[in-house]
Structures are given as C-alpha cells and as structure tokens.
A and B are shown apart, each in its own frame.
Chain A
C-alpha cells in the first residue's frame, strides 16, 4: 500500500475519527443524491433523506454534539462526566428563567442574556462536579448521578408553570451560501446557537490538538503523574476543563429552550445527555468524530420524527421512537477494542506524599 494513497488516507481518517465519519459521509451523499435527482419523487426516499429530514437531523444533532464536546473536555482531562444530562437540564432551566424575567427587554438582548445565564449555570454545575470528584474524592459516576438527580429535582421544584418565554432565536441565513441547493437551506440558514455549535467543534478540535492548553489537558488525562512532574497543576486543569465542559452542556440546554422549543418542560433533555456520552465514545473522544456520531444519532431522531409525521408505516409509534436508543446501544456495543478512553480517567489524582 502506498504511503500517500487514497486507501491509506481512508484508514488514517478512520483511525482518527472512528467509523462515524463514514456513516456521516454516506448520509450526506445519499441526501445530495436524493434531493437533486428525480429520486425525490419516491415517498420513502423523501422521508428518509428529504430536506426536512436533514433539517431535523441538524436540529437534533446540535444538543448532542455540544454534550459530546462537553464530555470530551472533561474526560480528556481525566474526569468522567455522566452528569451532562443534568448540566443540560440546569442550563435549559436557567435560560428559561432568565428569558421569562427579561421578556420586557428587546428580544435579542433578552435572548443573549439568557444564553449567558444558561452557560453560566452549566459551568457552575461542572464546577460542582469537579469539586465533588477532586476535593471530596467522590466516585465520579456517582457524582454525575448526583448532578442529574439534583438538576431534575431542583428544576421541578422551582419551575413555575405559569411562566412563558416570549420569543426565541430565529434563522439567520448566511448571504450567498444559503442559496446553494440542498446544502444551503440545511447548513447555512440556521439560528445562531446551531452555527455556534458547529464552530465549537472546530474550536475544541484546534484547542485540544494544536494549543499548549490542549497538550496539557491530554497529558493530565493520560498520565497525570508525568504531567505533575513537569510542573503542570493536574487538578487545576481538571477544574477548568470540567467547568468548561459544564458550560458547553449549559449551551446545549440554552439551545433546547431558546432555539428549538422556546419553552421549558420538566425533564426536557429526555436522555440527550446520555446519548451525547455515547456519541463521545463512538467518536473516539475526538471532536470531529463526535460530530459524526452525533449526526448519526441526530439522524435517527429525525427519522423517528419524519416517519411519524409522514404516516407511511404501520409500525406502532413506540417502535419507531425506540430507534435513537437502540442505535445508541448498537453503536456502543460495536466498538470493542476500537476506541480507547483517556488512560487516567475516573481516578483521583493525589500528589506524591499527600495521600
């Protein structure tokens, strides 16, 4: 095999980003094919790959990819974060409360303030998780569970059912690009948090692999003792990364309330935090891989939606609604030996002699 041949390039891509990129790529090819050729006359193909399905896919992907990025930031520094679900919910609730209490402000100002509130509360939850895991040496999976139950309880307790958020983010078409067939309406005619999420993928990727902060984060997650020896403050990096991760989960919550739904509902995250974790694993702890995985999971949610709306099948709706969850199980099961978590993940780090 030649060193720079397309085959080896393919293998390199696969090794770096996992199988998710292939799936995501296949999806894009099918979508373009169906939408620019007469194939779109076929009801079934339209349901599976039409513009509406793609739009919904992206909408469903945004919270998943943000959640997965949140997980990547925490876990690359060695903190397992199964509390993403709770951080998302807390962020969503904070965004909702901020929006309802600033309804009288100009819409844009109120929305931006609410996003900031959601991100801040998400970050706070991340900091609490780090505090539990590092300072109080709590089992990290238990700590994540505490975050989830706490968020569920607190948001239900404080939720005022009469409060209504007025207005949400609307689409901002990007001049020029929005008119490209198929890709334009899907990718370049979206509300702001969607763009932000896609930008965050690039930012986290560049940050992790091309900056000093990223190198140190990865060192802390792989071999904290070595990192400590060269003078990196292991726990400081873990606090910072887990808080940043919480902020991304909070942003996902903001997306749900301020961009997708426009209101808060109790337990509205509906397992998205957990599917994000699966996307993170499926994407091999790599931001771009996670985007591919999140797209796949987002697509199953879109499919569920399209199939139910189109009414083209006699399969009971419960089985269609199972799709995202079953695909998630299949995805995390099909990975034995193919992904590798950060080596020091889940372990408390103590400097020598302090234990």
Chain B
C-alpha cells in the first residue's frame, strides 16, 4: 500500500504544532475551573478553599501523588479506548460495560488455577480481561456492520447488560431457589462479591501500602505507546484513519471498511477491558457490582480533552486523575460536595468539544478548519 502524503503533511514544525494542540485543551480546562468556581459561588460554597483542598489532595504529599497516579491508570486506558474508536468515526460509549466485562473475566481467572507461577497466572488473567472487553466491544461493531444498528445505542444498552451480568456472577442466590452466581464467594454470606484474587494473579506493588501504586502504571503507559504506534505507524492504523476520514473513499480505495470497524470496536473494548483487569488485579483484588465503570463515561471526556491523540490522552488522564484524586480531600477540607468535579468534567468536555466557545471566551482569532469541532461520529443511518 502506498503511503499517502496527506497522512504526514503538515505546514508547521513539530513544536509549534504541539503548542497549538495544547492551547485549546488547556484553555478549556481553565475555563471549566472558572465556571466551576462560579457554580460554587452561586450555591454558597468557597471556590478558593475547594480548589486549595483539591490541589492538596492531588499533589500535597506522597499519598496524594500516589492517589492521583492510581486514579490516572484506568482513565488512560478507557480514554485510549474511546480515542481509538473516534479515529474511525465510531463513538464508543460502552467503555463502562467493557470495563466490567474485563474485570469479571480477569477475576474469573485470578481466583482459580491455584499453584500457577506468577509469570503464567498474571498474564493469563490480564489476557482474559482483555478478551472480555474485546468480546463486549466486538458485538456493537458486528451489529453496526451487519445490521446497521448504531453503536451509540448498542454500547449503552450493553453497559446495562454488562453491569447486570457482572452482578449475576457474584449473585448470592435468591429465595425462589435461584442458584448463586459462579464467582460468588461462598464464605461471604449474603454479600455479593468474589473471593480475593490469588497472590499469583495480583499485580505487584510498585510502592506498597499506604501508597498502593502497582506496576499497572507501566501497562497503561505501554498501552498508550502501542496505540500511538498502531494508529500512526502501521498500515492498519492508516486504514483506520482513512475509514474515519471518509468511509466512502476508503471503501473505494479497497480498504476493508467492515473489517476495520469490527476490529476497531473490538480493540477499543479490549483496552477498556484491560482497564477493568488492571483495576481488579492491581487494586481491588476482587470484583463486586459496585466496582463499576464510571471511568468508562469519563473516558469520553479524557479522549476529547486529549484531542484523541494517545499522548494527549495520557496528559488528559493525568488531569482527571488529579481531579478525582483530590476530590475526597476537597470535600473533607472545604465541605464542597465532590460531585462538583463531575460538573467541571462535563464543562471540560463542552469547552473542548466546541473550540468556538473557547475562542469566544478568550477572544482568540479563528483558525483554519479545526474550529468546525471534531466531527467524530456518524448519523443513525450507519454509513
């Protein structure tokens, strides 16, 4: 396959391009924090105290940094999941469901197979998690290609199905003779949770308690590099981007559009599944229905804040990790409900998805076509 010029051509130098790419997201974050302050003032809270507490909670000491890094890991992976799908003009709102499936599959391997050495058991459990997410991501891809069902609706419905399915695996049994779920911990009584993951399947600590940062941080980094390499350095990535830019042209050029769509959704699911597996094997060490995937929805914001670029996703995930890491301290120190973080995150999404608003607020000159917003998704019609 020929390497086309359009994929690499750029009029500006690398540094200028990087700075320009950082401009809108940084201003969006700033604007969201300002707007969050306005919301707090309107509801009688003190934004200075809140943001002070937030910063202290996220970066104040070693434990704060550890918390921020710990929270960053799943954001990186779910952000990558959504970003990868965006590259192909697919909207993966299903990262939460894929996250849950990844957790369930990983834990199913992690609590069984006693006696396996770490270097066999842990990779096996991680791969199981990826497989779970892969499967859950492939379904909407397949349905989109063969039936035209829009991935937005299918992925959202699958989120609910995954959460119920996950709940069933640890179900403690019912009064009408319903059998308990297959992963339920028999010693837990009426509590719905799995037993602890065996030591041989736990991700080792990089910094042990009280810091609780595990080696999964390197897995997340590796995933970001891998996705960058896949998208920008492989023929497959070129095909993905072409399908994303213009599906009809891609089909005309002989690219296997249907295959690309299914594969992308599956890989996106696999990334979110890996997020679930890492959270389960590294941090929670078990699965319970409440270890669900709010991080899946946040993956959308992280992906857009990161301009759907893997390195951008890393930075955005770190920002979100800090926001989440500091939220509890903020609420404790200033009394401002931690839910304000959710509002700020939604505002970040709004501002970053509509660069025109940011240009209006900060009175920047309009610039080229980027302002037209990121046309990421297709209409219900499918193609």
Residues of A within 8 A of B (CB): 80, 82, 132, 135-139, 141-143, 145-146, 149-150, 152-154, 156-158, 271, 274-275, 277-278, 281, 311, 313-319, 321-322, 325-326, 328-329, 332-337, 340-341, 345-346, 348
Contacts and interface: CB of A to CB of B under 8 A. Distances in A.
A142 B376 contact: yes
B93 interface: yes
11 contacts: A138-B353, A138-B354, A143-B353, A146-B349, A157-B337, A278-B157, A318-B171, A326-B157, A326-B161, A328-B157, A332-B147
A154 B343 contact: yes
Contact of B176 (A314, A328, A332, A335): A314
A334 B146 CA distance: 10
Given A322-B164, A341-B379, A281 B43 contact: no
B379 A322 contact: no
Interface stretch (B70-78, B206-214, B367-375): B367-375
B346 A146 contact: yes
Interface string B350-383: 1001101100000000000001111111111100
A87 to B, nearest CB: 14
B202 interface: no
A153 B153 contact: no
Contact of B164 (A139, A149, A318): A318
A318 B148 contact: no
Contacts of B177: 314
A317 B168 CA distance: 8
Interface stretch (B52-60, B130-138, B296-304): B296-304
B345 interface: yes
Contacts of A150: 343, 346-347, 350
Main secondary structure on A side of the interface with B? helix
A53 B271 CA distance: 41
B161 A325 contact: yes
Contacts of A156: 337, 339, 342
Given A132-B350, A157-B342, A281 B176 contact: no
Given A316-B181, A333-B147, A153 B339 contact: yes
B158 interface: yes
Chain B residues touching A, range: 35 or more
A345 B93 CA distance: 20
B378 to A, nearest CB: 8
A336 B178 CA distance: 38
B379 A80 contact: yes
A141 B341 CA distance: 22
B301 A149 contact: yes
B236 interface: no
B373 A332 contact: no
Contacts of B297: 149
Contact of B168 (A318, A333, A337): A318
B356 A321 contact: no
Given A137-B354, A335-B148, A335-B149, A153 B176 contact: no
Given A136-B356, A271-B156, A318 B167 contact: yes
Given A138-B373, A341-B381, 12 more contacts: A80-B379, A137-B354, A143-B353, A149-B301, A149-B342, A150-B346, A156-B337, A318-B164, A318-B168, A318-B171, A329-B158, A335-B148
Chain A to chain B: the 7 pairs with minimum beta-carbon distance, closest first = A153-B342, A318-B168, A157-B339, A149-B346, A136-B354, A153-B343, A150-B346
B174 interface: yes
B350 A146 contact: yes
A157 B157 contact: no
Nearest to A150: B346
A313 B174 CA distance: 11
B153 A278 contact: yes
B225 interface: no
A166 to B, nearest CB: 24
A344 B254 CA distance: 27
Nearest to A327: B157
Contacts of A345: 379-381
A252 B39 CA distance: 26
Contacts of A341: 379-381
B141 to A, nearest CB: 12
Nearest to A270: B160
A146 B353 contact: yes
Contacts of A314: 176-179
B49 interface: no
B315 interface: no
Nearest to B376: A139
A274 B153 contact: yes
B165 A271 contact: no
Nearest to A138: B354
B121 interface: no
A325 B156 CA distance: 9
A147 B19 CA distance: 29
Contact of A317 (B147, B158, B178, B379): B178
